Amino acid sequence: MALTETQVEDKIEVVGDHKHVQVRTATVIARDGAEISRSFHRHVLSCSTKSGDTWGDTDISSESTEVQAICNAVWTDAVKTAYQTAMDAAEI
């Protein structure tokens, strides 16, 4: 009986006006090729991060090439500016 564990990004979604990218990763356990367990982990990426008073692009270098391509496609300068403006306005 051989057990194997694989991880696959099985869902990538772009959500909301500020184009947050949600990534769901499935961990699949199989015995002799038959799936016996599946669990999920999610994480969300925003287009910009703030350090002190300075905004910068979110580091996506550790993400898969597919997630990077989606982020680069949807995170336009206009989206980044709108997100940064909305977050600055929320800091009251």
48-62: pLDDT as tens digits: 999 988 999 999 999
* pLDDT computed for residue 92 by the predictor: 59
Q: How confident is the model at residue 89 (pLDDT cuts 50, 70, 90)?
A: very high
For residue 92, what are its two tokens? Answer: 């009251």
- Give just the sign of the alpha carbon dihedral 91, 14, 62, 7: positive
For the segment 21-40, the average pLDDT, to the nearest whole number, is: 97
**Three-state SS at 51:** strand
Go through the chain and tell me how many residues it has. Answer: 92
* pLDDT computed for residue 91 by the predictor: 78
pLDDT at 87 over 90: yes
* pLDDT computed for residue 67 by the predictor: 98
For residue 24, what are its two tokens? Answer: 């769901």
Q: How confident is the model at residue 1 (pLDDT cuts 50, 70, 90)?
A: confident
Tally Cβ neighbours within 10 Å of residue 60: 17
Mean pLDDT, rounded, of the chain: 95
Q: Which of 7, 38, 5, 37 is nearest to 25 (CA)?
A: 7
